[in-house]
Amino acid sequence: MSTQRAKLVVGNWKMHGRLADNAGLLQAVAKGAGELPATVRVGVCVPSPYLAQAHSLLDGTPVAWGVQDVSAFTHGAYTGEVAAQMVTDFGATFAIVGHSERRAYHRESAELVAVKAQRALEAGLTPIVCVGETLEEREAGATEQVVGAQLDEVLAKLSAQEAGRIVVAYEPVWAIGTGKSASSQQAQAVHAFLRARLAAKGAEVADVPLLYGGSVKPDHAFLRARLAAKGAEVADVPLLYGGSVKPDNAKELFCQQDIDGGLIGGASLKDQDFLAICKAAAEATAAG
């Protein structure tokens, strides 16, 4: 059943919120998160104009905050874009990249998403890389091909060390905002596939050729263990599920072996629902 990896639950507010309403929501989430065990980490990704508000209301609480996208550029004449480095000025730690709404409505390619993940890492942010298939792709039996290609594009651009610092969110497009979540078995199957893909990236490091030259006895076993540990970091990248996670389906999803938490859209706008989902994550770790 569930794993011993800590759970992570992140709210994705999308383009919702107003200054006055946000204050109550952020304060309630901070208070509720303070009552959770340390096995659950909580974050919220707010619209960029509210970063300063999140910073001032969440600083010193157990809740981390971040944005829903970053630019592929560090600075320059890119009207309307927000650089990852700017986000860190407001104490943020997360940046969602490659959400399906950005891939679909802003025609973001897998390559652009990979560059954004790199920019986020360079700035010291944790990118939450979203992958997911459409209904047509699932029905055509192409789910693994689609999500595998989306993940590979990102992994190809990152060193194993960088890859060990990302979070991946599997969000089937057909489950987002539809009230129709993937079943726990469907989600687990894709998560296991993604975990194997990440482990393969780690294995590349563990299998790095170790050459010997010189007259002292080399400690290759030590070096190999160091490299394997780096590989293990990649295999342990948190894998979140997103798509119509609600208080009543969260625990079953979070109890799955390779589901390390959730990326929560609609339900993150209601403090009681969001906190109930965070509690479900705590129960899933306790059950494991």
Stretch that binds ligand PGA, among 118-126, 185-193, 217-225, 258-266 (CB under 6 A): 258-266
Comparing CA positions, the residue from 160, 252, 158, 155 lying closest to residue 194 is: 155
Judged by CB under 6 A, the residue of 2, 22, 118, 244 near ligand PGA is: 244
Judged by CB under 6 A, the residue of 63, 117, 198, 264 near ligand PGA is: 264
Least distance between ligand PGA and beta carbon 15 (Å): 12
Q: Contact between 46 and ligand PGA (CB under 6 A)?
A: no
Q: Is 171 one of the annotated active-site residues of the chain?
A: yes
Identity of the residue, 54 or 206, whose beta carbon is nearer to ligand PGA in the bound complex: 54
Q: Contact between 171 and ligand PGA (CB under 6 A)?
A: yes
- What gap in Å lies between CA 206 and CA 228, rounded to an integer? 4
- What gap in Å lies between CA 224 and CA 241, rounded to an integer? 33
Least distance between ligand PGA and beta carbon 67 (Å): 13
Least distance between ligand PGA and beta carbon 203 (Å): 30
29 and 44 in contact (C-beta within 8 Å)? yes
* Catalytic hit among 99, 101, 108, 133: 99
Residue least distant from ligand PGA (Cβ): 265
Site for ligand PGA in 80-139 (CB under 6 A): none
Least distance between ligand PGA and beta carbon 94 (Å): 12
2 and 285 in contact (C-beta within 8 Å)? yes
Helices 247-254 and 271-287 sit at what angle, rounded to 10 degrees? 30
- What gap in Å lies between CA 153 and CA 276, rounded to an integer? 35
Which ranges in the chain belong to alpha helices (H)? 19-33, 51-58, 84-88, 100-105, 110-122, 135-139, 143-157, 160-163, 184-206, 220-235, 247-254, 271-287
121 and 163 in contact (C-beta within 8 Å)? no
Q: Contact between 266 and ligand PGA (CB under 6 A)?
A: yes
Q: Contact between 12 and ligand PGA (CB under 6 A)?
A: yes
- What gap in Å lies between CA 198 and CA 5, rounded to an integer? 15
Q: Contact between 265 and ligand PGA (CB under 6 A)?
A: yes
* Interaction site with ligand PGA (CB under 6 A): 12, 171, 176-177, 242-245, 263-267
Catalytic residues: 99, 171
